[in-house]
Structure 1
Amino acid sequence: MPEPNEYKLSQCPDDGISAVKFGPNTSQFLLVSSWDSSVRLYDINANIMRTKYTHPEPVLDCCFHDQTHTYSGGFDRNLKMFDLNSNTETNVGSHDAPIRCVEFCPEVNVIVSGSWDQTVKLWDPRAPCNAGSFSQPDKVYTLAVCGDRLIVGTSGRKVLVWDLRNMGYVQQRRDSSLKYQTRCIRSFPNKQGYVLSSIEGRVAVEYLDPSPEIQKRKYAFKCHRLKVDGVEQIYPVNAISFHSVHNTFATGGSDGFVNIWDGFNKKRLCQFHRYPTSIASLSFSHDGSVLAIASSYMYELGEQEHPEDAVYIRKVTDQETKPK
């Protein structure tokens, strides 16, 4: 049974959930993209689906630009803008392979899309139109906006740091400090660094400042591992979301658990109850009062019977999210 501080959204997608994202200034409106080719907008306070639009194929990511415009992309390779007021959609442009990531950077007012075609593209939301295409070393698996910088994680365990105001060159090239494939990168709200997770039950806390004394502070830790009959089972860490006020972060794994971490003091603050299946995506609301949790089987063990895809809305407290 879910706890009283938590409830399940009604009218959830009927296939895998690829992303849950709160709007820039809201704890009320949540965007959800899915392998059922839909993007849905929920009013979580009323627990209703406000609107829904579709792509021809599965959608892998989505984001808000502002209160009334959203962007999304996926297997149909097209970046779509949707106007929530007029219920109209615009094909903004395309990639040569599926679009894996879509983010908005408020500092530079640009939409960023990352694709398996080994490029990142920038889009000017005022037109909307393409504002440049930038080659990456491999398929883009994840990306995070960090102030006016962009952190890109690729399939070959490369991490690239770009300056969104000057994309003429790569600011930093790094190898992931984790030896397995990168799954998710998210940046600290204080813009000092980022957290990176891998498919092998590990998370790395990294700092952007390249000076040796700052780089000494970086570390990695094991998580999302369970002992089953004396054998350690290791799970992918699929999702990370930062609490905008406390600089703490949540991780979600294929073990069905959500943990909250204090990255600066290197400790776990709490673990929620186990969800029915893998945690596919997480999003803290703007004020950090609510965490959206996508419980959605990610075919780690191939085709098999699995629990239904669901989004849980959990009210979180300072006790769970504030550094001790």
Structure 2
Amino acid sequence: MDPNQFNQATGDMEISQPPTDSVSEVAFSPKANFLAASSWDNEVRIWEIQNNGTSVGKAAFSHQGPALCCAWSQDGTKVASGGIDKAGRMMDIGTGQTSQIAQHDAAIRCIKFVEAENASPIVATAGWDKMLKYWDLRQQSPIGTVNLPERAYAMDCNNPLLVVATAERKVVVFDMANPTTPFETVDSPLKWQTRTVSCFTKKDGYAIGSIEGRVGIQYVDQKQKEKAFSFKCHRVNKGLEAYVHSVNSISHHPGYGTFATASNDGSFIFWDKDARQKLNPHPDVGGPILSTAFNGDGSLFAYALGYDWAQGYKGNTGSIKNTIMLHAVTEQDVKPKSK
């Protein structure tokens, strides 16, 4: 397929010059239609998405091993990333300068800008060294460190809510007013390993996804905890057998607060948690979806296709195309249905 050609089945557009290996995370700038992607080919790439859906490569920078995560600053001027090389790195989009901003004793799996609006940038990194660290970009050493119960697998922040999900199904919730003392540490409501976590737009809870085709809806306020529930998704029944697929990514729509789940079954589905209903499923796009993101105004949805390295290196036959697709979001996708 030529770059920027439509996927005939879905009408979605392919990004130009996609990564050469699986994408670990896609992230949109909150301020403009710039998309960043970290990849197992060690690179972090940035594209500008034009109004007609075509994309132009703008910049790239490298880690000394697979890049596992990426995030934009709230003002849209910086992209930060973490990788197997135990380093957090950052590019200033305006100057093109790159620098190392963080260091762990093992791979950095998660990175987010966590400052409140209009405050100076603070980056949080969480790693396989069971550490959460906060970095003020004006200083060399971390301004705060937290011992996590296990290796970090997923993290999201919508200030003042920060949620870190670790191995052994632990979930550590922080109030950024007190960033180095956990607000609560709980077990995931799901019985299997956590793959992804995403904070609600109202900042009152989070959605968590597991390898076993389930999503848990959790609230942090004691008065709302009884509203918590879990549901099954991304399961395919073939005859007497049920094929259960990992929920790899959950992304919340910035306007409506509804969310998308994406999976190794090659589909993405939009949901309304408040009405507890499916809004709009999309057909199989031809390979595992590894990461997803909405742009700042919720009009575009990016999803990365490629081999899921969690399946182990022996399973990678090279038959799965590594790329990123752009989906134009419709009201039918994300608008809650009237009751």
Instruction: Calculate the TM-score normalised by the size of structure 1.
Output: 0.95
Deviation at 1:5, TM superposition (A): 4.4
Matched letter for residue 306 of structure 1: S
Aligned mates of 1:284, 1:233 — CA distance in 2 = 28
What pairs up with 1:194-213 in 2 under 5 angstroms? 194-211=206-223
- Correspondence for 1:77 among 63, 82, 86: 86
Check the 8 A contact 1:279/1:294 in 2, yes or no: yes
- Correspondence for 2:263 among 253, 260, 267: 253
- Correspondence for 1:96 among 95, 99, 105: 105
Aligned mates of 2:279, 2:10 — CA distance in 1 = 20
Describe the superposition over 1:143-173 as per-residue Cα deviations: whole angstroms up to 9, x where unpaired. Answer: 1113212111010101111122323422111
Deviation at 1:264, TM superposition (A): 0.7
Check the 8 A contact 2:133/2:145 in 1, yes or no: yes
Check the 8 A contact 1:31/1:62 in 2, yes or no: yes
Check the 8 A contact 1:297/1:309 in 2, yes or no: yes
Aligned to 1:228: 238
Aligned mates of 2:9, 2:227 — CA distance in 1 = 37
Q: Do the aligned partners of residues 2 and 127 (structure 1) sit closer, same or farther apart at CA in structure 2, a change above 3 Å counting?
A: farther
Deviation at 1:128, TM superposition (A): 6.5
Aligned to 1:279: 289
Matched letter for residue 34 of structure 1: S
Describe the superposition over 1:55-91 as per-residue Cα deviations: whole angstroms up to 9, x where unpaired. Answer: 1110000111132211111100011111122221111
SS in 1 for 2:248: strand
Check the 8 A contact 2:198/2:252 in 1, yes or no: yes
Aligned mates of 2:257, 2:334 — CA distance in 1 = 9
Check the 8 A contact 1:92/1:130 in 2, yes or no: no
Matched letter for residue 89 of structure 2: K
Check the 8 A contact 2:21/2:41 in 1, yes or no: yes
Deviation at 1:3, TM superposition (A): 4.9
- Correspondence for 2:319 among 306, 310, 315: 306
Aligned to 2:3: none
SS in 1 for 2:179: coil
Residue segments in structure 1 that go unaligned for 5+ positions in a row = none
SS in 2 for 1:156: helix
Aligned to 1:152: 164
- Correspondence for 2:20 among 10, 14, 24: 14
SS in 2 for 1:255: coil
- Correspondence for 1:44 among 33, 36, 49: 49
Aligned to 1:143: 155
Matched letter for residue 330 of structure 2: T
Residue segments in structure 2 that go unaligned for 5+ positions in a row = 1-6
- Correspondence for 1:242 among 242, 252, 269: 252
Aligned mates of 2:275, 2:297 — CA distance in 1 = 22
Aligned mates of 2:287, 2:91 — CA distance in 1 = 30
The aligned length equals 321
Aligned mates of 1:137, 1:175 — CA distance in 2 = 11
Deviation at 1:295, TM superposition (A): 1.0
Check the 8 A contact 1:14/1:308 in 2, yes or no: no
RMSD between aligned alpha carbons?
A: 1.5
SS in 2 for 1:323: coil
Aligned to 1:33: 38
Aligned mates of 1:62, 1:168 — CA distance in 2 = 22
What pairs up with 1:157-196 in 2 under 5 angstroms? 157-196=169-208
Instruction: Calculate the TM-score normalised by the size of structure 2.
Output: 0.91
Q: Do the aligned partners of residues 95 and 4 (structure 1) sit closer, same or farther apart at CA in structure 2, a change above 3 Å counting?
A: same
Q: Which has the higher strand share?
A: 1
What fraction of aligned residue pairs are identical, expressed as a percent? 34
Aligned mates of 1:199, 1:120 — CA distance in 2 = 23
Check the 8 A contact 1:31/1:39 in 2, yes or no: yes
Check the 8 A contact 1:248/1:321 in 2, yes or no: yes
Aligned mates of 1:4, 1:151 — CA distance in 2 = 33
Aligned mates of 2:104, 2:203 — CA distance in 1 = 29
Aligned mates of 2:169, 2:8 — CA distance in 1 = 37
The runs of 4+ residues in structure 1 deviating greater than 3 Å are 1-5, 126-129
Check the 8 A contact 1:6/1:314 in 2, yes or no: yes
Matched letter for residue 150 of structure 1: L
